């Protein structure tokens, strides 16, 4: 975990390539023109403007031959689909929850959940809310509260579970605001905190506190299978547990989960809610039918439910998880060896570059992570994403920019897509940029959208 030799993390791909998609790198002059047209927002680029696309691992990976075969089994019945039955059985086997509602992706699950649980003025504690979760909390005129342990802000600390909730803060917050807190959430792994996992000990303690205060506890599970891998590899007492056993123990602490299945589900589209209580299932089912579709498809086609049922099983493979996290670690160490600060230890799905350290000449008000992500595209045709002050948005009460916290550039690695050589190209590009970092220019808003502003706002270089 603390080894500084990048080659020690190299894990051969547990698959061979059966189909390829050509990519090309357009000229630096053309990249600059495309970025100007995109109003300096990388979300506005067309995919063929990009050489290596590390914007997100959400729905951008490659499906296996067994998943493609599963597509052909798809039962497209409006109600009572056999594909839904196979998905429900897979979820119950892996996570232990009986009641399942498919959704078209994670944020529609969040819409169902937050509509049910929240009213204006409520508070929702989390380790760190993912951006869409926070947006759905705020959409209900409630307040998103991040109670992650402070060690997550020490990028160089070797602590293996920086995604842990600070349980002392959680207890204190529940005592002070308990009547305004309808539920407690955890994001596993902690995406906005560098993809860092939480320990099973910490999840158990959060569950105990929630039961003590009689608060529902739900887990944002987009990358919970990767989190289970880190528990097996890093937490004392679990090295002999299977990934499935760890996942069922995680979920035994909670009342329910939701998943954007475009991550650990290894599919291009889909998600679900799963809960223990039949009563809660019936309450959520009403909103599911209103917002997404009937409760046995919920915005997903039958073929996609079958592909997801297969993908969840494949993600639990130790060979796959070793390769998946090995790619992240390999790129992390290459950058670290070159003096580039990244979140440490390596997380599960992405490398997070410390933009404040990379661009010390840029003040927070010039959004250094956004500036670095733009410069990376201009230099190498690599698309990344800002995880910092732009993404955090404005405080729900003061309406001021949230400059506290980390300013990171996330290099999210799509599942089973890029080779180690392509990731080494990314590393070499950043290393080359580091030598001339003072040429990177800050940015400011030209058009700021009020919700999830990083997706659609427009910028200009300063």
Q: Which residues are catalytic?
A: 78, 130-131, 220, 222, 263, 454
| Residue 329 near residue 234, CB atoms below 8 Å | no
Judge whether 274 and 95 are in contact, CB under 8 Å: yes
Of the candidates 151, 322, 133, the residue with the CA atom closest to the CA atom of residue 226? 322
**Nearest to 338, CA basis, from 421, 214, 429:** 429
**CB-based contacts of 280, cutoff 8 Å, min separation 6:** 99, 216, 255, 256
Which tokens go with 364?
Answer: 């927070």
Q: In degrees rounded to 5, what are phi and psi of residue 234?
A: -115, -25
Please enumerate in sequence order all residues whose Cβ is within 8 A of that of 206, keeping only pairs 6 or more positions apart, or say none: 165, 167, 170, 184, 186, 217, 253
Which candidate, 192, 189, 188, 152, places its Cα nearest to that of 169?
Answer: 152
Ramachandran region, residue 205 (left: φ > 0; alpha: ψ -120 to 50; beta: rest): alpha
Look at the chain and count its residues: 462
d(CA 208, CA 188): 18
Q: Which residue has the tokens 């989190």?
A: 227
Alpha helices (H) along 38-101: 65-71, 82-95
Got the DSSP string for 337-405?
A: HTT--B-SS--SSEEEEEHHHH-TTS-GGG-HHHHHHHHHHHHH-EE-EEESHHHH-B-TTT--B--SS
Cα→Cα distances 237→90, 133, 143, 231, 323, Å: 27, 32, 37, 9, 23
Q: How far apart are CA 133 and CA 453, in angstroms?
A: 14
Q: Which H/E stretch holds residue 329?
A: helix 318-337
Give the distance from CA 143 to its chain's centroid: 21
Residues 199, 313: Cα–Cα separation, whole Å:
22
382: left (phi over 0), alpha (psi -120 to 50) or beta: beta
Closest CA to 116 of 287, 236, 232, 270: 287
């Amino acid at each position: 975990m603390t080894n500084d030799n990048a080659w020690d993390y190299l894990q051969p791909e547990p698959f061979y390539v059966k189909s390829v998609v050509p990519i090309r790198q357009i000229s630096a002059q053309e990249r600059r023109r495309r970025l100007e047209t995109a109003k300096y927002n990388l979300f506005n680029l067309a995919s063929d403007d990009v050489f290596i696309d590390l914007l997100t691992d959400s729905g951008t990976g490659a499906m296996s031959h067994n998943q493609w075969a599963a597509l052909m089994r798809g039962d497209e019945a409006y109600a009572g689909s056999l594909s839904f039955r196979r998905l429900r059985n897979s979820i119950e086997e892996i996570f232990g929850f009986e009641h399942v509602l498919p959704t078209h992706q994670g944020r529609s699950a969040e819409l169902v959940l937050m509509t049910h649980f929240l009213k204006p003025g409520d508070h929702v504690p989390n380790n760190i809310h993912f951006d869409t979760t926070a947006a759905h909390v705020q959409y209900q005129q409630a307040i998103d509260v991040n109670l992650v342990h402070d060690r997550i802000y020490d990028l160089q600390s070797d602590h293996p579970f920086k995604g842990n909730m600070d349980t002392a803060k959680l207890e204190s917050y529940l005592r002070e605001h308990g009547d305004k807190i309808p539920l407690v959430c955890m994001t596993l792994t902690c995406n906005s905190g560098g993809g860092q996992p939480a320990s099973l000990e910490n999840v158990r303690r959060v569950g105990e506190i929630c039961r003590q205060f009689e608060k529902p506890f739900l887990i944002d599970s987009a990358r919970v299978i990767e989190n289970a891998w880190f528990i097996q590899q890093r937490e004392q007492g679990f090295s002999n547990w299977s990934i499935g056993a760890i996942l069922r123990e995680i979920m035994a602490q909670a009342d329910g989960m939701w998943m954007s299945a475009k991550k650990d589900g290894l599919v291009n589209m889909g998600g679900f809610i799963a809960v223990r209580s039949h009563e809660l299932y019936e309450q959520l089912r009403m909103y599911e039918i209103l917002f997404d579709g009937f409760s046995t498809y919920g915005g997903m086609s039958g073929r996609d439910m079958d592909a997801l049922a297969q993908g969840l099983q494949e993600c639990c493979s130790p060979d796959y998880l070793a390769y998946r996290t090995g790619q992240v670690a390999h790129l992390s160490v290459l950058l670290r060896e070159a003096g580039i600060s990244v979140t440490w230890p390596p997380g599960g799905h992405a490398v997070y570059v410390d933009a404040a350290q990379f661009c010390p000449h840029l003040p927070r008000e010039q959004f250094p992570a956004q500036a670095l992500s733009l410069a990376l595209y201009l230099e190498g045709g690599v698309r990344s994403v800002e995880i910092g002050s732009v993404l955090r948005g404005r405080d729900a009460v003061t309406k001021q920019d949230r400059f506290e916290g980390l300013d990171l550039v996330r290099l999210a690695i799509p599942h089973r897509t890029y080779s180690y050589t392509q990731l080494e190209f990314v590393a070499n590009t950043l290393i080359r940029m580091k030598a001339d970092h003072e040429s990177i220019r800050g940015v400011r808003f030209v058009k700021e959208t009020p919700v999830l502003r990083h997706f659609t706002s427009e910028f200009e270089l300063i």
